[in-house]
Structures are given as structure tokens and as C-alpha cells.
Chain A
Amino acid sequence: MGTGLEWAWLLIALPLVSGAVLLIGGRRTDRWGHLLGVATPLASFAIGVYLFARMLGLPPEERHHDVSLFSWIPVGSFQVDVGLLLDPLAICFVLLITGVGSLIHIYSVGYMADDPDRRRFFGYLNLFVAAMLLLVLADNFLVLYVGWEGVGLASYLLIGFWYYKPSAAVAAKKAFIVNRVGDFGLSVAIMIMFTTFGTVSFGPIFDNVDAAGTGVVTAIGLLLLLGATGKSAQLPLQSWLLDAMEGPTPVSALIHAATMVTAGVYLVVRAGPIFEAAPQAQLAVAIVGAATALFGAIIGCGKDDIKKALAASTMSQIGYMHLAAGLGPAGYAFAIAHLLAHGFFKAGLFLGAGSVMHAMKDEVDMRRYGGLARVMPVTFVTFGFGYLAIVGFPGLSGYFTKDAIIEATFAFGGTAGTLLGAAALLGALLTAFYMSRVMFMTFFGDRRWADGVHPHESPRVMTWPMIALAVGSVAAGAVFTLGGRMVTFLESAVGAPEEHHAFNPFTPIGLATLAAMVLGAVIAWTSFGRRPVPSTAPKGSFVTVAARRDLYGDAVNESVFMRPGQWLTRTLVFFDNRGVDGLVNTLAAFVGGTSGRVRRLQTGFVRSYAMAMFVGAVAVVAALLLVRL
């Protein structure tokens, strides 16, 4: 193995150190903090590119490098070393995280320019990037868990960045708590892995996974899936994602495109050998993915808040990735390809949305937008490319990656394959519909702006990252998919699919996908493009109302978990007060009451005390006489 790959630890250390400097340095670093905060992810990106180049120079079977750093927990048979695993899967994520992350950092310099706490914001962003890099570079589940928790913490801090807004504080708490549910699944899975395999390292576990019973492996797989649903906002732990829009828009871009939500997909793909040994768990992943893809798409159709519509679309797209990851080796490469492409166009869309909000004085209601295409040409064009990419316009990235997933799903075979494929196809139609809706309501039609709003194009520090991401949105899909590049590159890390399809858009399914996309866009045009959009939301049908209310996800959580939980705690508190405390209090009251009566003997009259002494003296004399006589 050549030199150079050992330097992988710098990837994590750079943003971590700069985050620490910014957060510990405090106000002294206010003036140059954002520059340091931008420089370190860029440096990490440069290192990532260098490592990627070194890796491409190696033959495929050697593209797997362990960097052992130090021994973390050496306790008897429980040995955990902190080590980094550098393989094609990890390097894909490294490039995505540092590349897209750096663009978002640059954009934030402009977006947060007026915020007095910009330095703190960059400190959190760096922490976020460092934690995510640790997550994808870990060579065992325990170190992965550290990164996993770090991501949760950083997301909490960033969503609640404007902590003085009650809604932001609540959203941050909600994200953290919902994530804890998923983290619980992951931690239990790690414990089961340790008791079953005696180690938490990837290699030994994946090698011995066949030796363990199917039941155990299925349990591990389902618990890992629980962890993945929490981080990736999949059903049933999806509720935090829409509220997470309370954070600053670059945070949304970072969470949705480069970090956080992709962690679940990474976990499922990384733990591929476990899922392959547990087909039920694998099918569960696919079902969860397909269900979430539809769920998110339906919510996206009902939202008037531009950020929430995009958030719903993230949920839906991550659902596609899980669907692909649940198909086994046949889908891993497509899941990762879609993830990378999604990283580009979703980051571009969010940055575009942020740019629009910036111009509209933080207005998020799309019914107050309209006709912005002429006012903000750069934003319009970059957003437009992102839009075309996500709906799958031929030639752009989403077209290649999403089509590949849908085809792989139908190729899965059986009833399950057909049903999942149909869901994915329906999802594609809905995606086209709600994204076209966003597009029409924002950039076309009448100007429904509020009074005193004068939109303008954003500064260059914000537009250049958007342009870079737009280029990525256009090109990424073709680069990854054509010629099976992604499949070949990831082969050594996640295994090869059984049969290898060259990309061919002219299959019946490919044509159906295209038709669905066109149909969705046309429906959107007839509803929102051709007719004027009312400034206030119409009442809408039952489905619209449900979508506006996140398909009652919060209501379900409230009635199923919160209310019974409150009843339970109230019962326990009652029992604690009356039962446990009652016993203790009764005892204390008894002692207190007794002493309250006994202390009445202390009258304060010195003659009473003298009397007690005299009587005592008589008693002593009597006792002496009794003994002597």
C-alpha cells in the first residue's frame, strides 16, 4: 500500500480542531472565525481528493485500507481500537461531505453575514462535518456510534441555533429526542453484535455473520434499520425533519444533502453483509424506503412553505435510497449514486431557497412569491437545474439514478418487486408534481409579494456555490451511472450485483418513468402554472389537509406515545408520592411528631431542670442503697 492514505485522520482532525477553536475561542475569534471555518472543510476536501486520486491509482482489490490510530478501550476481551477504514464507499461519502459541505460553508459566509453569532454557527458546522466524517470513516461500530451521536448533537445545536425562538428550541429538542429513539436501536444492535461476535469491528463481524443464527441476525438488522430510520427521517421516525426547518437554511442544506440523513443509508449499505444474511430485515428496509418515498411525496404536495416542501422531498428521496439499499447488492451502487446526485441537487435547491428567502425578507410562504425568474436570474437558473435533476429530466443526474433504482426494484422480482416498483413509479409522478408546483409558484406567475419587499439577486459568495452545485446536478448522474462506473468502483466495498445492466433508457420501465414525470409536471402546470395562485391557501380536499399536517405524523406520535407516556409517568409519580414517599414520610412524621411532644419537656424553666436533677439524685442514692443493702 502506498503512502498517503495514513493521512486520512487529518480529514476529521481539521474541522474538529477548527470547530474547537471557534467554540472555545469565543468572541476573540469573531473577526476571522468564518474564514477558518471555511478553510478547514476545503482543506479536508483537498485531502479527500488526493486520497481519491491515490485510490484510483491502486488495483481494485487493494482499495481497502485500515488506518489504526490508537487503542481506545482495552478491557479484557473487550478491545476497541480507534481506526479508520478507507475504502471506495467511505471515499464517496468523504468527497460528498467535504465537497458539498465546503460549498455550503462558503454560501453561509454570505447568508449569515448579518448574524452576530456567525462564528458560533461556523463552529457548529465544522463540528457537524467532523462528526459525519468520523461516522463514515470508522472501522468499527463503536467509533461509528461516536460519530453518529456527534451528528445528532451538532444537528441539535444547529436546528436550535436561533434558540431564542421558542419554535426553534422545540424543533431542536424534537429532532434530538426522535434521534435518540433511533440511537437506542443502534446501540442495542451494537451490544447484540458484541455478545454474538465478541467484537464490534466491521471485518470480523461481516466475516462471521453466517455463523450466527438467523434470528439474531434479523434482530440486529431490524435494530440497525431503527437507527437508520431515526437519522434518515424514515417512517416511523420521520417527524423531526420538517420541524428541523427552523434552523438557518444552510443547515437545512447540510442536513439534507451532505450529512445527517445520508447516515442512515450509509449504515444500511455498510452493514450490507448483515442484511444479506437476514432477508426479512432487508425487505423491511425496502418497504420502509418505498413507504417513506410516497409519504414524503404526498406531504410535499400540500406544503406552501418552500423549505418544508423541499424537506418533504428529501424524505421522499432518502426513501428511494433506502428502497435501493433494501434490494441487496443489486441496489447498493444505485443507492449511493442517487445519494451523491441528490447531495448536489438538493443542496442546490436549498441554497436556492435560501437565496429566495434572503431576497424576500425571510418570507417562506410560496403563495407570497411568484414571478421571481426575472428578478433573480442566477437563482432561477441554478434552482431550475436542481428542479430538472430531481424530477428526472432526461440527461440530468436524477434521470439516471432514479431510473436505475426503479428498474432495479422491478427487477427484484415477485409480488414485492412489483408493488415496490409501482410505489416508486407513483413517487416519481408525485415528485414531478410537487417540484413543478414549487417551481411555478416561486418563479412564474403573478408577483404576489408582500408590501415593502424588493427582491434582488444574492451576493456572489452565495451564487457561486449555487452555480457549482448546479453543474454537479447536471453532470453527476451521467458521470456515476454511464458505463457502470459507480457499480465497478464500489464493487470491492459492497459486493457486485449478480447481473450487470448497461444503462438503457428505452426499456418499458424507463419510458414509464419518463411518462410519469411528464404527467406530474403537466398536472402541476394546469393547476399552478396556467391559473393564478391565490395568496391564501384554499381549503383543499381531505388529502391536501392531511398533507399540510404532515399526514398526521405528529398526531399519531402524540396519541400513541406522548399521551400514554404522560399517563404512565403520572401513575408512577402518584405511586412514588403516595407509596414510596408515603412510607418514608409516615416514618418521618412519626419521628417528628414524637420529638415534637418530647421536646415539650424543655420548658425553659430552670427550676424544672433543677427538679429533674434532684429527682435523679434521689434515684441514684436509692440505687446505691439497694445495691449495698
Chain B
Amino acid sequence: MSVLFWLLAVASVAAALGMIFSRRAVYSALMLAVVMLSLAVLYAVQDAPFLAFVQVIVYTGAVLMLFLFVLMLVGVDSSDSLVETLRGQRFAATVAALGFVLLLAVGVGNAALGDVAGLAGANAGGNLQAVAGLIFTRYVFAFEVTSALLITAALAAMVLAHRERRHPKLSQKELAKQRFLGPHPTPLPPPGVYARHNAVDMPARLPDGSPAELSVSPVISRREPERREEIEEGEKQ
């Protein structure tokens, strides 16, 4: 038991630190998955099998996938710059974090935690049945309100993500016309050709070595070229 705890504790803290220090958002998401799975195991060993499964299914399965989905949607740039722009932000964050942990530890250390009562009695008829009994009796009002919250959130997401179509949708014929009468009758260069990366936001290289801006989707190419050059230089070193 203790071995399991220490294993999971070290793994989750390491993954959490990895998450905040990783330069790539996708890595951060994967680290978060590690933390969540560790916690799911910790729930399971603490007589909370229902929550453990919910953790795996809802959090790791749904929410985290949603994160990854949005990451892909807004474009996976190769990395974030970790250069701090707000003066003193990191120092202050470190000091405040250490103070916070120390204060809480002192508080917990001083609290009389007492013995562990254990959930054997409460889970006598099965954890799922017991939780359901509580949810549908004592917490039924909160549960109903939660349903309203979920519906509202779903509607809000639709409203926020919705975009009005301002131009008529182009037909196949018009698209073809546009393509062949436009400046580029040939296919556009794909990203990554002759490039050092296979990331979609990295432009392809032309034979003379200069970047081909057309190879990057306009949705993704949001960073100014100099900025991208700077990142590439950083990668080289």
C-alpha cells in the first residue's frame, strides 16, 4: 500500500512538474493524463471505485481529449517560448508557492487528524449504490442544478464557437475556377518539404533554402516570420 502510494506520488508530482515546464502544449496534455491516471488509482485504493472510473472515463477520456482536440484546432505550433515577459512574475510565483505549501503543511501538521474511520461501513452495500443513494436523496437538488449547468454550458459553447457565414458557400465549380484561374494553378507546396521539422506550422523550403510561406495553412501561420526564424534558430542550438 505504502509502496503504491509513494510510487504514484512521485509519478504524479514529476508529471505535474513536467506539465508546467514542457514547452509543447501536447506534451503538457500527455503529462496531465499521467497525473489523472495516477489519481484514479489513488481513488480506487481509497474505497472510491466509482470516482476512479469517472476520473478515467470523463477526465482522461473526455476532457483531456477535448483539450487535445482544441490544441489541434488552434494549431499545434512546435513550442511555446518560455521566456518570461512579466518582470518578477516567476520569482513571485515561486516564493508564493513555497509559502503556500509550507503554510498548508504547518496547518495540517498541527491539525488533529485522528484515526481513519474507513469506508467499510458506508460502502457496505456497494460503493456505487451508496453514492447513488446520497446523490438522489440528500444531494438531489444540487444534482438537478448540475444538469441545468451542463445544458447551459453546452449551449454557451455552441454560441461562442458559432460563426456566421458571410458569403455564400462556393460550389465545386466555383472552387475549381478559383483554383485554376488563380495565381497558383499547380498544387500548393505541402508543409515540411525540405524542412527541418514535420510540424504543420513550419514552412517548406524552396530549392534555394528560403521558406515557402504558401506551404503553411493561413489558419496556422499566425506567428510573424521573424518569430518563427527565432524559434528555428533556437532549435538548432
Residues of chain A at the chain B interface (Cβ within 8 Å): 605, 607-608, 611, 614-615, 617-618, 621-622, 624-625, 628-629
B100 & A621 in contact (Cβ 8 Å cutoff) = yes
Chain A residue with Cβ nearest B107: A625
Cross-chain pairs A/B with CB under 8 angstroms, 28 sampled: A607-B86, A607-B89, A608-B86, A608-B89, A611-B89, A611-B92, A611-B93, A611-B96, A614-B93, A614-B100, A615-B92, A615-B96, A617-B100, A618-B96, A618-B99, A618-B100, A618-B103, A621-B100, A621-B103, A621-B104, A621-B107, A622-B99, A625-B103, A625-B106, A625-B107, A625-B110, A628-B107, A629-B110
Interface size grouping (class) on chain B: 10 to 19
Residues of chain B at the chain A interface (Cβ within 8 Å): 86, 89, 92-93, 96, 99-100, 103-104, 106-107, 110
Distance in Å: Cβ of A330 to nearest Cβ of chain B: 100
Knowing A611-B96, A614-B96, A615-B96, the reply to whether A622 touches B89 (Cβ < 8 A) is: no
Chain A residue with Cβ nearest B101: A618
Contact residues in A for B96 (Cβ distance below 8 Å): 611, 614-615, 618
Once bound together, how far apart are the Cα atoms of A629 and B96, in whole Å? 21
Distance in Å: Cβ of B38 to nearest Cβ of chain A: 24
Q: What's the dominant secondary structure at chain A's contact region?
A: helix
Once bound together, how far apart are the Cα atoms of A624 and B96, in whole Å? 16
Once bound together, how far apart are the Cα atoms of A2 and B92, in whole Å? 105
Distance in Å: Cβ of B73 to nearest Cβ of chain A: 22
Contact residues in B for A624 (Cβ distance below 8 Å): 107
Once bound together, how far apart are the Cα atoms of A628 and B92, in whole Å? 26
Contact residues in B for A618 (Cβ distance below 8 Å): 96, 99-100, 103
Contact residues in A for B104 (Cβ distance below 8 Å): 621
B86 & A622 in contact (Cβ 8 Å cutoff) = no
Q: What's the dominant secondary structure at chain B's contact region?
A: helix
Contact residues in A for B103 (Cβ distance below 8 Å): 618, 621-622, 625
Once bound together, how far apart are the Cα atoms of A608 and B84, in whole Å? 12
Distance in Å: Cβ of A601 to nearest Cβ of chain B: 13
Once bound together, how far apart are the Cα atoms of A15 and B140, in whole Å? 88
Distance in Å: Cβ of B140 to nearest Cβ of chain A: 32
Knowing A615-B96, A618-B99, the reply to whether A605 touches B107 (Cβ < 8 A) is: no
Contact residues in A for B99 (Cβ distance below 8 Å): 618, 622
Once bound together, how far apart are the Cα atoms of A502 and B99, in whole Å? 120
Contact residues in B for A625 (Cβ distance below 8 Å): 103, 106-107, 110
Contact residues in B for A608 (Cβ distance below 8 Å): 86, 89
Distance in Å: Cβ of A414 to nearest Cβ of chain B: 99
Distance in Å: Cβ of A611 to nearest Cβ of chain B: 6
Once bound together, how far apart are the Cα atoms of A471 and B58, in whole Å? 118
Chain B residue with Cβ nearest A611: B92
Once bound together, how far apart are the Cα atoms of A614 and B92, in whole Å? 10
Once bound together, how far apart are the Cα atoms of A615 and B100, in whole Å? 9
Distance in Å: Cβ of B122 to nearest Cβ of chain A: 29
Distance in Å: Cβ of A603 to nearest Cβ of chain B: 8
Distance in Å: Cβ of A627 to nearest Cβ of chain B: 11
Chain A residue with Cβ nearest B111: A628
Contact residues in A for B100 (Cβ distance below 8 Å): 614, 617-618, 621
B110 & A605 in contact (Cβ 8 Å cutoff) = no
Contact residues in B for A611 (Cβ distance below 8 Å): 89, 92-93, 96
Distance in Å: Cβ of B7 to nearest Cβ of chain A: 30
Which 4 A-B residue pairings sit nearest by Cβ, starting from the closest?
A621-B103, A618-B100, A618-B99, A615-B96
A-B contact sample (4 more), CB < 8 A, given A605-B86, A607-B86:
A611-B89, A624-B107, A625-B110, A628-B107
Distance in Å: Cβ of B95 to nearest Cβ of chain A: 9
Once bound together, how far apart are the Cα atoms of A624 and B106, in whole Å? 12
Once bound together, how far apart are the Cα atoms of A625 and B106, in whole Å? 9
Distance in Å: Cβ of A614 to nearest Cβ of chain B: 5
Once bound together, how far apart are the Cα atoms of A74 and B89, in whole Å? 78
Chain B residue with Cβ nearest A626: B103
Contact residues in B for A615 (Cβ distance below 8 Å): 92, 96
Distance in Å: Cβ of A607 to nearest Cβ of chain B: 6
Once bound together, how far apart are the Cα atoms of A614 and B110, in whole Å? 23
Once bound together, how far apart are the Cα atoms of A622 and B92, in whole Å? 17
Contact residues in B for A629 (Cβ distance below 8 Å): 110
Contact residues in A for B106 (Cβ distance below 8 Å): 625
Contact residues in A for B89 (Cβ distance below 8 Å): 607-608, 611
Once bound together, how far apart are the Cα atoms of A311 and B188, in whole Å? 100
